[in-house]
Amino acid sequence: MSGITKSAEELALMEAAKRVLPGGGLGNFPADIVVRSGKGGHVQDVSGNDYIDFLLGSGPMFIGHCHPKVDAAVIEQVGKGSTFFADNEHGIRLAEAIVDAVPCAEKVRFLSSGTEADFYAMRLARAYRGKPKIVKFEGGYHGMSDWALMSLAPKRLANFPAAVPDSPGIPESVRSEVLVAPFNDIDAAVKLIEAHQDEIGGVIMEPLQRLIPPKPGFLAAVREVTARLGIPLIFDEVVTGFRFSLGGAQQFYGVTPDICTMGKIIGGGYALSAIGGKAEIMALFDKAAVGEERFLTQVGTLSGNPVAAAAGLATIEVLREPGTYDAVFATGRSLMDGLTTLIAEAGIPAQCLGEPVLFDVVYADGDLRDYRALLRQDAAMQKHVNTTLRSRGILKGDSKYYVSTAHTAEDVAQTLDAFRAAMRSLPASRKVA
């Protein structure tokens, strides 16, 4: 049975949040938990309940909470200063580490969030090519800018390449500057890019779109057509960067873009993101190199913050240790295999979708190749399972398991026990005869 109870202190904090925060929360995770601390692959709420943490702060804590090497690096830097708005050693060293690891990154520019990185990457591509439009893929997430919030999760489907705004407050004119293609459809993507080549500034995509892996040849086909036409290709690796490998998804899948964005892991739990790309393109951030007319202004008060950079450097040092990626992929694969077995035993239409370090159970059968296919998912079943998991001490987002290097075989076993309980509590009408 569930051991999750709420203390008077946590309930009081939740009431205070309702008074001072829209929706009673910080706008990220549902406002029904107040987390106090984290260690390794677990977090604890204010009531003292312990959770196996597959949320990982929405991904940054890839080596776990309060890793001793990260904590030591941060504490040392905090004693020397928090931020300077000037070059600092850790920022320079982190840029070196990124250039050394990431195939497309010849130069790096730091920012503070994934939204900023994606926003500036799109602006950089448009400025470099001198063309106004961006191609994105339906269902792809690229932060919270007006351009990114086109056809992320459209409530009504439109014919491609028409864009659908996902939020009020976006000027109608932005719709005409974004062209939308279906993910994993080589023919449609190539034809769209060829047809609009004279007005496209850049193409942006997640190499793994939310949970959907690229079909064989898809990334390579988009790379070929953009390279042939001289259109910058942007890989949004805010999620996948340093998670799939030291070189990110571009190394993992063997396709190198012109520009990539990174975040989450490179800040080690602190606010930091980056754009990496070919030197010729990144030169637009250097007025001395390109002149006044082509210079792309970018300033951020906390860009390259030394505390965040120190945390990121320490994180990358841990990830460089031999066997680290083999171990975390093995943990994720064990969890995926166990869930797949339980799904089959329960006789429900569901499948694990993603890669071992980033995946979820999707409650639908068949080929889940794009955003529209994912709309077949049984949302009620997903909610039931996620609620049951939380009641049994498993913390995860609505649609992701983030697996960390700190998760253990015991964590996997406890998670599978909780999932088994969720399967047993499903109404008979949800199961396949």
Same domain? For 313 and 327 the reply is no
Note down pLDDT in tens along the chain; length 433 residues.
357 999 999 999 999 999 999 999 999 998 899 999 999 999 999 999 999 999 999 999 999 999 999 999 999 999 999 999 999 999 999 999 999 999 999 999 999 999 999 999 999 999 999 999 999 999 999 999 999 999 999 989 999 999 999 999 999 999 999 999 999 999 999 999 999 999 999 999 999 999 999 999 999 999 999 999 999 999 999 999 999 999 999 999 999 999 999 999 999 999 999 999 999 999 999 999 999 999 999 999 999 999 999 999 999 999 999 999 999 999 999 999 999 999 999 999 999 999 999 999 999 999 999 999 999 999 999 999 999 999 999 999 999 999 999 999 999 999 999 999 999 998 765 555 4
- CA–CA separation, 408 and 381 (whole Å): 27
**Is 58 part of any domain?**
no
Are 300 and 424 within one domain? no
- Domain co-membership, 296 together with 359: no
Together in a domain, 331 and 314: no
Which residues form the catalytic set?
141, 236, 264
Neighbour tally for 26: CB within 10 Å: 10
Are 81 and 198 contained in the same domain? yes
Please tell me whether residues 206 and 228 are part of one structural domain.
yes
Please tell me whether residues 344 and 311 are part of one structural domain: no
Check whether residue 307 and residue 351 sit in a common domain.
Answer: no
The CATH number given to whatever domain includes residue 385 is 3.90.1150.10
- 306-319 vs 89-101: helix crossing angle, rounded to 10: 40
Of 215, 224, 252, the residue nearest 102 (C-alpha): 252
Domain-terminating residue out of 319, 345, 362: 319
pTM, full prediction: 0.96
Q: What is the CATH number of the domain that holds 79?
A: 3.40.640.10
Q: Which domain holds residue 28?
A: 1-34
Whether 368 maps to a domain, the answer reads yes
Which pLDDT value is given to residue 427? 76
**18 and 24 Cβ atoms separated by less than 8 Å:** yes
Q: Is 18 found in the same domain as 145?
A: no
Q: Which residues contact 433 (CB under 8 A, 6 or more apart)?
A: 347
In degrees and rounded to multiples of 5, residue 131 shows phi and psi of -125, 150
Q: How far is CA 415 from CA 2, 56, 68, 83, 235, in A?
A: 13, 15, 26, 40, 32
